[in-house]
């Protein structure tokens, strides 16, 4: 398998704090990979090591098979680590021009990226006056506009409004699906992660607590939850596809295309249906289940 980022037994200590405590993780090239974990779990530290911004105490990190921090591998990466800071006296457009010169990407299509991250109306404003969400939009343009193969985003939408989150989700999916960019992102917005990521890793206290594709971690595909009376009759109709969910409801493992026939069959069997809704896979339960209660309680 082609790997975008590999961590091998990574340890990073800051004094007595073990930010990474023997983390091993392989992130495949292609698709969107989510890194989850409580505050202080080591997500940003992993990204900083991958980008060569800090050195590991021991262990190794590789980008596309080469040691992390090498100039040749860094050319293939774009990143936004936490809310970026830029010279406050430059406009958004001039900031991107400056970054393009710095990274040798003089041909980068700055105007396209300003529009793509939704900063068209603010391109000539000084970034010193930008809100957190606006700075993050600019940071995303800066991460993407050199057309890297891998983009590392640390909480890219933590300051954005709901419409902004949706736009950025579409942008990330688009870049992964249509342009083959690998995207690694850390986020605390589990619903967002479920919608945008193909695979996720859950870190806890500097170690890997769980890893897998989003569907298997969240217990498979969505199921139809039906509030019904009597429950027994509904379960008889559903057979192996049904299970009770509390005293008044059942969960049906059916495809969307099968629902009209199922509802007809239930009505014909004398079952009264007062509610039917799709229940999506639940990443929150998977997340909480992977972590010790103590890990959840105290950030380090
Ligand atoms: N430069 C530093 N000096 C001292 N301690 C640090 C430094 N950077 C990180 N740490 C510590 O390492 C641990 C891991 O921090 P890190 O920023 O990687 O966590 P995180 O998973 O990104 O958390 P969050 O979800 O809050 O962003 C924390 O205990 C943090 O205080
Ligand atoms: Mg962090």
Q: Which residues of 134-145 are buried (b: 16+ CB within 10 A; e: fewer)?
A: bbbbbbbbbbbb
Same domain, 241 and 206: no
Ligand 1 mutation target, pool 35, 45, 159, 200, most atoms within 8 A of CB: 45
- What does the chain come to in residues? 300
- The alpha carbon of 11 and the centre of ligand 1 are apart by a number of angstroms equal to 13
pLDDT tens-digit profile of 139-177?
Answer: 999 999 989 999 999 999 988 899 889 999 999 999 999
Quick check: 83 and 132 in contact, CB under 8 A?
yes
Same domain, 88 and 117: yes
Quick check: 201 and 25 in contact, CB under 8 A?
yes
Q: Which residues of 263-274 are buried (b: 16+ CB within 10 A; e: fewer)?
A: beebeeeebeee
Q: Which pLDDT score, from 0 to 100, does residue 223 have? A: 87
Mean pLDDT throughout 16-27? 96
User: Measuring from each residue's beta carbon to the nearest atom of ligand 1, which residues come in under 6 Å?
Assistant: 14, 17, 19, 37, 39-45, 300
- The alpha carbon of 78 and the centre of ligand 2 are apart by a number of angstroms equal to 17
Q: Which of 217, 232, 261 is the last residue of a domain?
A: 217
Q: What is the position in ligand 1's atom list of the atom closest to the CA of 40?
A: 19
Mean pLDDT throughout 201-218? 90
Same domain, 241 and 210: no
Same domain, 119 and 192: yes
Same domain, 91 and 200: yes
Q: Which CATH number covers residue 242?
A: 3.30.70
Same domain, 98 and 133: yes
Q: Which pLDDT score, from 0 to 100, does residue 298 have? A: 59
Same domain, 65 and 21: yes
Q: Which pLDDT score, from 0 to 100, does residue 103 have? A: 81
* Distances, alpha carbon 17 to alpha carbons 56, 58, 250, in Å: 13, 14, 47
Cis bond leading into 230, ω under 30°? yes
Q: What is the position in ligand 1's atom list of the atom closest to the CA of 203?
A: 21
Residue 20: domain span:
3-217
User: Is residue 108 domain-resident?
Assistant: yes
0.75 exceeded by pTM: yes
User: Is residue 136 domain-resident?
Assistant: yes
Give me 114's structure tokens: 């300003």
Same domain, 170 and 41: yes
Same domain, 114 and 263: no
Same domain, 202 and 237: no
User: Is residue 288 domain-resident?
Assistant: no
- The alpha carbon of 82 and the centre of ligand 2 are apart by a number of angstroms equal to 7
Q: Which pLDDT score, from 0 to 100, does residue 15 have? A: 94
User: Is residue 91 domain-resident?
Assistant: yes
d(C-alpha 185, C-alpha 147), whole Å: 17
- The alpha carbon of 188 and the centre of ligand 2 are apart by a number of angstroms equal to 10
**Mean pLDDT over all residues of the chain?**
91
User: Is residue 286 domain-resident?
Assistant: no
Proportion of the chain above pLDDT 90, given as a percent = 74
Q: Which CATH number covers residue 49?
A: 3.40.50.300
Same domain, 46 and 134: yes
User: Is residue 284 domain-resident?
Assistant: no
Q: What is the position in ligand 1's atom list of the atom closest to the CA of 48?
A: 18
Q: What is the position in ligand 1's atom list of the atom closest to the CA of 188?
A: 25
Same domain, 242 and 204: no
Per the structure, how many domains does the chain have?
2
Angle at 289 between CA 287 and CA 293, to 5 degrees: 100
Question: 4: burial class by Cβ within 10 Å (0-12, 13-18, 19+)?
Answer: buried
Question: 161: burial class by Cβ within 10 Å (0-12, 13-18, 19+)?
Answer: exposed
User: Is residue 287 domain-resident?
Assistant: no
User: Is residue 291 domain-resident?
Assistant: no
Residues with CB under 5 A from ligand 2 (ion): 43-44
Q: Which of 217, 234, 263 is the last residue of a domain?
A: 217
């Amino acid at each position: 398998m082609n790997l975008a980022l590999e961590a091998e037994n990574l340890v990073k200590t800051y004094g007595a704090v073990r930010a990474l405590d023997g983390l091993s993780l392989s992130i495949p090239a292609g698709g969107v990979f989510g890194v989850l974990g409580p505050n202080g779990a080591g997500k940003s530290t992993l990204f900083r090591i991958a980008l060569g911004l800090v050195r590991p105490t021991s262990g190794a990190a590789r980008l596309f098979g080469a040691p992390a921090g090498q100039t040749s591998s860094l050319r293939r990466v774009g990143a936004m680590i936490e809310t970026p800071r830029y010279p406050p006296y430059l406009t958004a457009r001039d900031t991107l021009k400056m970054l393009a010169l710095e990274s040798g990407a003089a041909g980068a299509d700055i105007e396209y990226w300003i529009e793509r991250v939704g900063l068209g109306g603010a391109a000539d404003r000084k970034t010193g006056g930008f809100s957190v969400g606006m700075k993050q939009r600019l940071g995303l343009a800066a991460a993407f506009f050199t057309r890297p193969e891998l983009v590392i985003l640390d909480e890219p939408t933590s300051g954005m409004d709901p419409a902004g989150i949706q736009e950025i989700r579409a942008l990330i999916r688009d870049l992964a699906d249509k342009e083959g960019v690998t995207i690694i992102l850390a986020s605390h917005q589990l619903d967002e992660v479920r919608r945008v990521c193909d695979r996720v890793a859950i870190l806890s206290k500097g170690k890997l607590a769980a890893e897998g594709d989003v569907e298997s971690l969240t217990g498979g595909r969505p199921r139809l939850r039906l509030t019904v009376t009597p429950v027994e009759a509904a379960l008889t109709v559903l057979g192996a596809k049904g299970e009770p969910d509390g005293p008044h409801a059942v969960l049906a493992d059916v495809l969307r295309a099968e629902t009209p026939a199922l509802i007809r069959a239930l009505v014909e069997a004398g079952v009264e249906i007062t509610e039917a809704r799709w229940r999506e896979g639940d990443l929150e339960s998977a997340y909480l289940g992977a972590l010790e209660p103590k890990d959840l309680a105290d950030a380090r």
